Structure 1
Amino acid sequence: MEKPDVLVIGAGAAGLMVAYKLTQKGKKVTVLEARNRTGGRIHTINHESFFQHAELGAEFVHGDLPVTLNLLKEAGIKYHAANGEMVRYAKGKFTESEQLIEDWDLLIERLNELKEDTNIYDFLLAEFPGDNYQSLRDGVWNYVSGYDNADPRKASAFALRKEWQNEDEDAQHRVDEGYCSMINYLAKQCREAGNNIFLSTVVKEIHWKEKQVKVITDDGISYEAGQLIIALPLGVLQANEQEMGAITFHPPIPEQTKAIQTMGFGAVIKFLLEFDKPFWENSATKKLAGKSLKPMIFLLSDEEIPTWWTQHPQRSPMLTGWLGGPAAIDKKDYTLDDLLQQALQSLSNIFRLSIDELKVNLIAWNIVNWGDEPFTRGSYSYDTVAAPEARRVLNTPIDNTLFFAGEHLYDGAAMGTVEAALTSGVVVAEKILG
C-alpha cells in the first residue's frame, strides 16, 4: 500500500473536511475510523418503518452558516427552512413562548458588565440571589444544560454571553436528505481521488517524531505518514487510557493532554418516536391547548424528558425528544426501555394521553445515549473558563507533525455545531498546505 502524505483519525465532519481539502490540493490521505460508518456524531437513519432521513445525531443548521451552506451548495444538496412556533407547557397550560427565561434583558445587561470570566452558575448566584430570581436561575440552568448540553457549574459566562449575543433564531435549516448526504459527498470525493477511508479501525497508539508518524490499531495493524490529524470527539480524547477508543501517544504530549482535560464536553440522550399519526395536531389536542399546535416546531416543558420537536414545516408523525447536560449524565446507565418509558410518561403528562394509548400508536422508536457511545463519549463541546487557552494550545501544530481538528477547537459564535467541525477542518488543511 502506498504510504500517504497525511493520516487522519476520525471520519466525522472535521476529519472528512480536512481530508477533502487536502485531497483537492493533491495530497494523498488515509482516513481511519473506529466505527463501521462515516459521520461520527452525524448519523442519518433511513429504516423502512421510520420517517426517512431521521437524524440520530446532528439535525439543524443553526443559522446562515457559510461553510456548511456553501458545502451543501457545492454538493448540490438541498435544504429547507425549519421554523415554527415555540410552545411552552407548564402547570397544565400551553403557551407560545418566545421569551424562554424571565428577566432575560437584565441577565444580558449584567453579563455585559462582567469583567472577569467565571462559570455561569456562580455568576447567577452572585448576581441574582434569593427567591425572587429562582425562576431566572432555573431557566438559565435548563437552557444551558439543554441547548448547550453543558454543566452550568463549568460553563463559561463569557462564552455564553458571546453565544447569546450572536443567536440568529430566524435562520434555521434542515438538510432535505439528511446530514449524512453531506458526509457521503465528502467521503466520495476523497475516495474518487484515490484515497482510502478504513472503517472499523480503532487506533490505540500513536508513535511520532518530527515529520514521521506511525499509528497502531487494536488489532496490531500499523499505518505510517509524514503528518497526522487527530479529528476525534473531545470525549474520546478525554477518555482514560484503559477505556475503549482511548489513544496513547509515544512520546507523550503533556501540554496538549492537560489542555484537553480542561475543556467541557456535554452529554445528550436523543429520542426518535414515530407514531401512526401526528396526534399533537388533532382536535383533542387543539381543545386541550386552546389552539392548534400544527405550526409548532419546539415544545418545552418541565417533564423528565423536557424538550421535544416536530419536523415542521414538513408534516410528519415523528416527535424528537432531547435530554442534555447533567440530567443526561444522571441517566447514562439507564436501559433503552427505561428511557422509552420516561419519554412516553413525559408525553403522557403533557398531552393527557395514557401510556397505553401512546404505545398502541407508536410505530417505531430509536434512542441514542451519546454519552454511552464508546467512540463519542458525549455530545458536543462547550467552553469552560480554561477553554480559550486550551484551544490555543491544541490549535498549535506539534513539530508540524501532529494536528488536532474538531468542533471543540472552533472559536466563533456557532460553537458545538457541524459548522464548527467543518471550519476546524478547513483551518487545519490550510495549516498543512502552508
Structure 2
Amino acid sequence: MNTADILIVGAGAAGLMAASELANTGKKVIVLEADNRIGGRIHTQYDATTGEYTELGAEFVHGDLPVTIGLLNEAGIPYRSASAEMVQYDEGAFVENESFIEHWDLLIDKLNSLQQDVSIEEFMLKEFPDDEYARMRTSVRQFVSGYDTADPQKASSFALRKEWQSEDDSAQHRVAGGYVTLLNYLAGECKSNNGQIFLNAIVKDIYWSPGKVSAITADGTAYHAQQIVLAVPLGVLKAGEGQTGGIAFHPPLKAHAEAIQGMGFGSVIKILLEFDEAFWYSEETEVRIGRSLDNMGYLLSQEEIPTWWTQFPERSNIFTGWIGGPDAEAKKEKTDEEILVQALQSLANIFRLSVEELQQRLKAWKVVNWTAKPFTLGSYAYDTVNALVCRNTLNTPIDDTLFFAGEYLYEGTAMGTVEAALTSGRGVAEMIIS
C-alpha cells in the first residue's frame, strides 16, 4: 500500500504534472500532499449557491503559453481573454495608456549595457542616483515588488532585463471554472493509471540512499520508493526543520541545501472583496472622479494596498487587491482584519469614498496571506544574482534518487507562473523516464 516506484511530495502544478506523466508510462506513483486539498498555490473557491468561483491563488495565464494552453486544449477546458485596460491612480488622477515607469527607454538602454549582474536596487542607485530619477527608482521598486513579488535588494538585473524585454502584456487569459479544473484533470490522469494521492500527508523526514528512499509523515506513516520528487514550494524547502512544513533530510543535503537558500522566493498577500455592486463602473463614480472606468481591468496606485483588478470583461462585484515583495513580508504577522482595514482605506482614498460607506457595501471578503501559510511560506520565485548557478545544482538529481521540481527551477521567460511549474514537472518526469 505504501510502496511505489516514485514518491512525489506536493500536489501542486509541478507535482501533479510529474505524477500524471510518470503514471502514464506505467510507473507506480504515490503523491503526498500536506494540505487538505490539491493545487498548492492554485486554490479555486467555488460557491455552489451562485455557481461562481474565485481564485484565491494563481489567477491568470500570462500569455499564449504552450504547456498551459496545450493542456487546457487537451482536457477540453475553455479559457477566455482577461486582457483589459490598465489604469494608474497617481496624485489624485486616473491615467491610462502611458508608461508607468518614467524614462523607460533610458532604463532599458542602461540595462542592455550592463556587463556584470547586480541587484536591481544596486543598479538603480549606481546608474540613476540623481533627484530627477527619484520617481523612476520608486516605480521600479514598486514594480519589482508588486509584479515579481521580489526584494529589489536581491532581484537580478539580468533576469529583470530578460523579463521586461520579452513580456506580451496583450495576452492574458482566465481558465473557465478556475485553475483547479486543470489540476483536477492532471489528478484524474494520475489516478486513472493507478497513481495514488494522499492528502493531509505532511512529510517531515526523508531518509535516502542511492536507489532507496523513505518519506515519513507527521503521523508516523512511512512511504517507500526507489526515487522521490520534491515538488513543494521553495519557501517550504527554505524552512527550518522545526517549522510546520519543514522537511529534514537524512543524510543532510549539502550543495542542494546551499542552492535552495541562494534562490529568491517572494511574499504576497491577496485580498478579495465582494461589494453589493461593481461601484467602480457606476455613473456615480464617473461623476465623482471625473472619468469613466468602464474598461478598467487593472488599477495601480501608491496606496497601502497598491494593486487592484476586476474580473473584466465580466461585470463582477469582486475587486481583488494585491501586495507583494518586502511590503507583504512586513505584513505577514498582521491579522486578516487589519489587512482588510488597510484595503478599504486604500479604496476609499482612490475612489473618494468613506471607509464607512465601503464597509456598508461590503458583502463578503477574504484575505489570503500566502506568506504566512505553513505549506507555502511565500508567493513564487524570483532570480537572485546567483540564481543560475543555484538552479543548475537543483536541476541535477542526487544519485538518480532525489529530484526537485517547481516553478523556481524554470529557465524561460514565464517565471513565477503555473506554466513554469508545469514545465518543470514535465521535465523531471522526462528525466526519470529516460
Q: Counterpart of 2:391?
A: 391
CA contact 1:18–1:429 (8 Å) conserved in 2: yes
Distance (whole Å) between structure 1 residues aligned to residue 433 and residue 374 of structure 2: 32
- Per the TM alignment, residue 222 of structure 1 is displaced from its structure 2 partner at its CA by 0.2
Q: Counterpart of 1:224?
A: 224
Divergent runs of 4+, >6 A? none
- Per the TM alignment, residue 291 of structure 1 is displaced from its structure 2 partner at its CA by 2.3
Distance (whole Å) between structure 2 residues aligned to residue 385 and residue 98 of structure 1: 30
CA contact 2:150–2:266 (8 Å) conserved in 1: yes
CA 1:317–1:363 in structure 2 vs 1: closer, same or farther (change >3 Å)? Answer: same
CA contact 1:51–1:318 (8 Å) conserved in 2: no
Amino acid in the other structure paired with 1:333: E
CA 1:246–1:376 in structure 2 vs 1: closer, same or farther (change >3 Å)? Answer: same
Secondary structure at 1:23 match in 2: helix
Superposition map of 1:186-265 within 5 A: 186-265=186-265
Distance (whole Å) between structure 2 residues aligned to residue 92 and residue 98 of structure 1: 16
CA contact 2:289–2:352 (8 Å) conserved in 1: no
The alignment of Structure 1 onto Structure 2 pairs a total of residues equal to: 434
Q: For structure 1, which segment, 50-59 or 415-424, has the greater mean C-alpha deviation from structure 2 after superposition?
A: 50-59
Secondary structure at 1:372 match in 2: coil
Distance (whole Å) between structure 2 residues aligned to residue 290 and residue 96 of structure 1: 14
Please, which runs of 5 or more residues in structure 2 have no aligned partner? none
Q: Counterpart of 1:164?
A: 164
Q: For structure 1, which segment, 45-54 or 83-92, has the greater mean C-alpha deviation from structure 2 after superposition?
A: 45-54
TM (norm. structure 1) is: 0.99
Residue 273 of structure 2 corresponds to residue 273 of structure 1: yes
Q: Counterpart of 1:106?
A: 106
Q: Counterpart of 2:123?
A: 123
CA 1:269–1:2 in structure 2 vs 1: closer, same or farther (change >3 Å)? Answer: closer
CA 1:2–1:258 in structure 2 vs 1: closer, same or farther (change >3 Å)? Answer: closer
Q: Counterpart of 1:319?
A: 319
- Per the TM alignment, residue 354 of structure 1 is displaced from its structure 2 partner at its CA by 1.0
- Per the TM alignment, residue 43 of structure 1 is displaced from its structure 2 partner at its CA by 0.2
Amino acid in the other structure paired with 1:90: D
Distance (whole Å) between structure 2 residues aligned to residue 98 and residue 182 of structure 1: 35
Residue 292 of structure 2 corresponds to residue 292 of structure 1: yes
Distance (whole Å) between structure 2 residues aligned to residue 52 and residue 141 of structure 1: 35
Q: Counterpart of 1:30?
A: 30
CA contact 2:19–2:195 (8 Å) conserved in 1: no
Superposition map of 1:130-145 within 5 A: 130-145=130-145
Distance (whole Å) between structure 2 residues aligned to residue 221 and residue 50 of structure 1: 40
Q: Deviations over 1:369-398 (max 9, x none)?
A: 101000000000000001100000000011
Distance (whole Å) between structure 2 residues aligned to residue 100 and residue 289 of structure 1: 20
Q: CA RMSD in A?
A: 1.0
Amino acid in the other structure paired with 1:383: D
Distance (whole Å) between structure 2 residues aligned to residue 341 and residue 73 of structure 1: 41
CA 1:259–1:188 in structure 2 vs 1: closer, same or farther (change >3 Å)? Answer: same
CA contact 1:86–1:98 (8 Å) conserved in 2: no
Secondary structure at 2:328 match in 1: helix
Q: Counterpart of 2:78?
A: 78
Please, which runs of 5 or more residues in structure 1 have no aligned partner? none
- Per the TM alignment, residue 49 of structure 1 is displaced from its structure 2 partner at its CA by 7.0
Q: Counterpart of 1:307?
A: 307
Q: Deviations over 1:18-68 (max 9, x none)?
A: 000111111110000000000000000013577822101000000110000
Secondary structure at 2:30 match in 1: strand
Amino acid in the other structure paired with 2:109: E
Q: Counterpart of 1:338?
A: 338
Amino acid in the other structure paired with 1:100: F
Amino acid in the other structure paired with 1:214: S
Distance (whole Å) between structure 2 residues aligned to residue 98 and residue 37 of structure 1: 42
Secondary structure at 2:319 match in 1: strand
CA 1:98–1:211 in structure 2 vs 1: closer, same or farther (change >3 Å)? Answer: farther
TM (norm. structure 2) is: 0.99
What percentage of residue pairs aligned between the two structures are identical? 59
